[in-house]
Amino acid sequence: MFGQGCAATWIAPVAMPLGAKRAGGRNRRTTFIVTSTAAKADVAGVPAPPAAKPQTKKGVSLIDTTRRQLLTAGGTLAAFGVCPCATCGPAQAGEWSYGAYEGPRMWGAMCREGTAQSPININTSASPLRSAPDVRFQFNYASSVRSIANTGHGMQVNFNPGSIVTFGDKSLELLQYHFHTPSEHTIDGIHSSMEVHLVHKNTKTGGLCVLGCLMVAEETAKPHESFTQTFSKAPAAPGREIESPKFSPNVRSFLPNNLAFFNYKGSLTTPPCSEGVEWIVFTDTISVTPAQVLDFQNYLGDGVNYAMNYRPIQPLLGRTVNGFEPSRLGALAAAPQPGYSDML
């Protein structure tokens, strides 16, 4: 079921994290410990297991967990212009899963037939960072949370209209954010402990743009406050959604200070895997504690085991991944670099 060549042993749930109050486990994979120094992504589609001990950002032994879903919705991308992840209503958890029998290998339709699928491995040597003149991120995230849901594949925070990111001449409205463990994207073949996805809608075209940031478990890190708030408010029962929850996450804290990024055209990473999604994956990471990663894995396992929610790496199939360095943004008063005109 997992890739070859790594010795593994099951994690013993000695102390249940915060999610231990949950009951009624579903058929999900249990996290296990890898004795190798790095968890490599299998481009052929076999999930890479997580590494045993979360280490510093400079380390390579990271907890590998998987990603949560954007709920199932209609078949076309247009259906996601308003609600990109089908969690705007009750979760359709029974229609697909990350398990051995209904997992990513069994997802059909565009998930199997698409030619521009996500996530991908980002080869940094093939996508060197270059300047992007006159393009800057400007964040105006309001704290108006509409609801928080247990989608059956993770926790998702949905927002009322009004949280805007301007990116060059583009205006992106935040729809929701959610998490995956381990990271769905890999950098030079290596997973991080988790990944957060901030799903936006282009206010002019209605297309989707996802800002992705890898999250690294560090033993010396302080708990990520907004993750802790989200975790504490997330409903325990799969399919449940709490309207107007009383919390105000700092959404900007889910992104790094250095906004260098990779950009490519891809898809939703859950069924129906609709294509035409713009991806911005930041080069820098943010920190969480090992306990926060385990809490989220335990949440995915309904408090009775440790589970994952990620889709394996998909083939690039000739797509271009562009890298842009924000420290040089605006430094050159010239025409956009080749490839930049294809963004968003």
- Which of the residues are catalytic? 153
Cα 338 versus chain centre, distance: 28
**DSSP assignments along 272-331, one per residue:** T--EEEEEEEESS-EEE-HHHHHHHHHHHTTTTS-----PPP---TT---EEE-GGGTTS
With CA atoms as reference, report the closest residue to 64 among 190, 226, 239.
190
Cβ burial 68-101 (10 Å sphere, 16+ → b, else e): bbbbbbeeebeebeebbbbbbeebbbeebbbeee
CA-CA-CA-CA torsion sign (99, 104, 110, 116): positive
With CA atoms as reference, report the closest residue to 197 among 74, 70, 103.
70
DSSP strand pairing (121-122 vs 137-140): unpaired
CA distance linking residue 344 with residue 271, whole number of Å? 22
Radius of gyration over every alpha carbon of the chain, rounded to an integer in angstroms? 19
CA distance linking residue 192 with residue 44, whole number of Å? 19
**DSSP assignments along 128-166, one per residue:** -EE--TT--EEEE----EEEEEE-SSSEEEEE-TT-EEE
Residue 99, C-beta contacts closer than 8 angstroms, at least 6 positions apart: 27, 28, 29
